[in-house]
Amino acid sequence: MRRFLVLISFLLTAQLTVAAEDKVAPPKVTKIGDPAPADAPVKDIEVTAKKYEFAPAVIEAPARSVVRVHLKAVDREHGFEMKAFKNSCVKFNPKETATAEIYMDKPGEYEFHCCNFCGLGHGKMKGKLVIK
């Protein structure tokens, strides 16, 4: 009977461990810019980062909308930072996605770049957010 209880205990522990490993943490969300009004429209965009490039490198959105940038790294840890905002660096890696929510009420072109050193071409890893 004791062996049976030990076996059941072991199986339950193993099952709980596997279940915990299967859970994926929700992506972290970093808000950049001024707070958005509650009724602001949202534009979702998927952006991948790999060796010295963002794809797409140019994101277009209307003014007074929330641009929700879903970030996915293909090869290694990268970062996404809006040059116009201090401390806006969002780091992400192939195992963990991240989301940046950007609210801009004025039209213009805003540069973003990788804020996590990723190799010799790191300085060329840039893009732009075009607000119309």
**Distance of alpha carbon 23 from alpha carbon 115, whole angstroms:** 28
The percent of the chain in helix, strand and coil, each rounded to the nearest 5, is 20, 45, 35
**What letter would DSSP give residue 19?**
H
Structure confidence by residue, pLDDT tens digits, 62-104: 999 999 999 999 999 999 999 999 889 999 999 999 999 999 9
Name the band, by pLDDT with cuts 50, 70 and 90, for residue 19. Answer: very low
Which top CATH class is 25-131? Answer: mainly beta
**Inter-residue contact 102 to 67 (CB < 8 Å):** yes
Strand order in the sheet with 42-50: 28-33, 98-104, 65-73, 42-50, 53-55
